Amino acid sequence: MKGTDAVRLAVEDAGVESITYVPGYPATELAEDLGAEISINEKVALEVALGASVTGARSLVLSKQLGLNVLADPLVISAVHTVGSGLVVIAADDLGPKGSQAEMDSRAYGPLAELPVLDPRDIASLYASVLEAYQISEWLRVPAIVRVTERLLSSQGPDVSRREAKGHGLKFDSRTWELTVKGRHQKHHFDVLRAAEEASEATLLNRVEISGGVGIIASGYPASLASGLGTSILFPGYSHPLPWKTIRRFVEGHRLVLVAEEPEPFIESQLRMSPKVRGKLTGHLLRGPLERRDLVFALENIDRESVVRTCQYESTEERGYSGICSDCPFNPLYRALAKLEVAVAGDAGCVIKATREPYLAVDVAFGLGSSIGVASGFQRKGVAALGDFALAHSALQGLINAVWQGREVLVVLFKNDVAATTGGQKAPDLVGLLETLVPVTRVKLPADKSCLEQMLLEELKRPGCSAVVAEGRCSRQKEKEKGEGNGK
Ligand code: SF4
């Protein structure tokens, strides 16, 4: 059985009724397996889930790497607001990033939002963690986070033994409003977090095996690399709150302890006061994803207090990054943009690939939906280049702000109607809405590069904000649709 199958079965057995997501690595495949409903951004995906939860339905949000940053506002508030039926956020981290603009350790949202985070290590614990997350969410009336990684989702393991664990249609308890915000926080700290600590200590997801004087505390996927190395092992089921009593006993009972986790030293940094502890902070392991050989190296050097490591920074050439497709209809537009002597803010998606040779058409790209806000801050009028999913995700707010504040920006929308880099999911058509905000010029692609360049130069002369909507059909999407047509 694959990791994604374990999640699907757990979601079925937990009786989850509302599943929302935003496409992106490494959550897309799981979302499609679950038949999840696409949302324009993660904040909205969580808001939909909150609405389902308070009216009695169990809900799930699948978050791609970095998606927790977008839904953080309602997430943090929901901890003290409380929910109704179980609400689980699966945070899918992209380690050694393959499809994301940064590598983030979503476990950090546990202490930040003061919510339980479960960090499953294999197929069986993945299934059990999702079920337990619904139980604890309903017991504590807060969302619970399950952190997964691509390696865990794609790993194989024995079939899980299933059990029925449906909820009881719990609805939001409006007595929460009898307390002030301070009072709700006090309740959260005194009741909810204490109960979460007890659950973390008592859960059957914890596993301890004793063997010799050296121990490994391993969280998440690295736990599957830690077995059979001749050490004791402790696998905590929760990475927040940690089972501190169990951890203290484990550290006290061993001469030295290695903490194996990824990508950041999240647990190790909470144990760093102990001179017995080794890990990423002591240089025994490198930050980022781990392999079994890394653990072997760390154990060979475990008696040293620290290890000095060097690192070769990976280049795009080494990784073999894919560029803009040679038959992309937007190619002449990228080339025309490259000719402009103004700054161009790009966005996540295909547009970010034009930061590199042979285009060098885009100067900066700060994340999905950021282009218009960034371009409106340029010291001289410039361009925001983005796809239609980025516009819907959050760039539209950047445009509203730019119009409101009388800023100057030329928006160039690469309209292909899909989220091309994440598998061709349909994007909402917002051109009509765009036309209510700014003057819009439409152009069909492919078109001649010199004409496009001339048109962009003319558009840049317009005062204030305006938009060029360039329409073209993604060549990969056309191939996909043709393949699906032939398969019928
Ligand atoms: S995936 Fe589609 S839109 Fe993106 S570069 Fe390739 S052809 Fe163009």
- 198 and 211 in a single domain? The answer is no
Mean pLDDT of 428-455: 96
Residue type, 193: L
- 135 and 172 in a single domain? The answer is yes
**Is residue 211 assigned to a domain?**
yes
Does ligand 1 have an atom closer than 6 angstroms to the CB of 131?
A: no
CA atoms within 13 A on the CB side of 477: 19
For residue 349, report the distance from its CA to the centre of ligand 1, in Å.
9
Q: Which of 130, 131, 120, 132 is nearest to 157 (CA)?
A: 120
Nearest CA to ligand 1 atom 6: 325
Beta bridge partners of 145: 89, 117
More confident residue, 246 or 485: 246
Does ligand 1 have an atom closer than 6 angstroms to the CB of 419?
A: no
**Is residue 321 assigned to a domain?**
no
**Is residue 216 assigned to a domain?**
yes
- 235 and 198 in a single domain? The answer is no
Does ligand 1 have an atom closer than 6 angstroms to the CB of 416?
A: yes
**Is residue 485 assigned to a domain?**
no
Predicted confidence at residue 487, as pLDDT, reads: 61
Total domains present in the chain: 3
Q: Which of 21, 13, 141, 144 is nearest to 85 (CA)?
A: 141
CB 353 within 8 A of CB 323: yes
482 — pLDDT class (breaks 50, 70, 90) = confident
Residue type, 241: P
Least confident of 258-272, 309-323, 357-371: 309-323
Asked which of 281, 300, 319 is the last residue of a domain, the reply is 300
For residue 474, report the distance from its CA to the centre of ligand 1, in Å.
5
Domain with 221 in it: what CATH number?
3.40.50.920
- 183 and 275 in a single domain? The answer is no
Least confident of 57-66, 130-139, 313-322: 313-322
- 420 and 294 in a single domain? The answer is no
Mean pLDDT of 213-238: 96
Predicted confidence at residue 483, as pLDDT, reads: 85
- 414 Cα nearest atom in ligand 1: 3
- 133 and 229 in a single domain? The answer is no
Mean pLDDT of 183-208: 97
Distance separating alpha carbons of residues 171 and 53, to the nearest angstrom? 7
For residue 475, report the distance from its CA to the centre of ligand 1, in Å.
6
For residue 447, report the distance from its CA to the centre of ligand 1, in Å.
16
- 14 and 77 in a single domain? The answer is yes
Asked which of 278, 300, 322 is the last residue of a domain, the reply is 300
- 251 and 371 in a single domain? The answer is no
**Is residue 197 assigned to a domain?**
yes
- 214 and 194 in a single domain? The answer is no
395-422 confidence digits (pLDDT tens)? 999 999 999 999 999 999 999 999 998 9
Asked which of 246, 281, 300 is the last residue of a domain, the reply is 300
- 33 and 157 in a single domain? The answer is yes
488 — pLDDT class (breaks 50, 70, 90) = very low
**Is residue 324 assigned to a domain?**
no
- Rounded to the nearest 10 degrees, the angle between the axes of helix 193-202 and helix 244-252 is 50
Does ligand 1 have an atom closer than 6 angstroms to the CB of 475?
A: yes
Does ligand 1 have an atom closer than 6 angstroms to the CB of 415?
A: no
Domain with 96 in it: what CATH number?
3.40.50.970
Residue type, 181: V
**Is residue 39 assigned to a domain?**
yes
Q: What is the mean pLDDT of the chain?
A: 96
Which of 351, 417, 475, 480 for a ligand 1 pocket mutation test, highest count of atoms within 8 Å of Cβ?
475
- 151 and 68 in a single domain? The answer is yes
What range does the domain containing 407 cover?
A: 331-479
Which of 330, 388, 414 for a ligand 1 pocket mutation test, highest count of atoms within 8 Å of Cβ?
330
**Is residue 195 assigned to a domain?**
yes
**How many Å separate Cα 138 from the centre of its chain?**
24
Whole-number percent of the chain with pLDDT over 70? 100
Predicted confidence at residue 137, as pLDDT, reads: 98
- 327 Cα nearest atom in ligand 1: 7
- 295 and 388 in a single domain? The answer is no
For residue 300, report the distance from its CA to the centre of ligand 1, in Å.
47
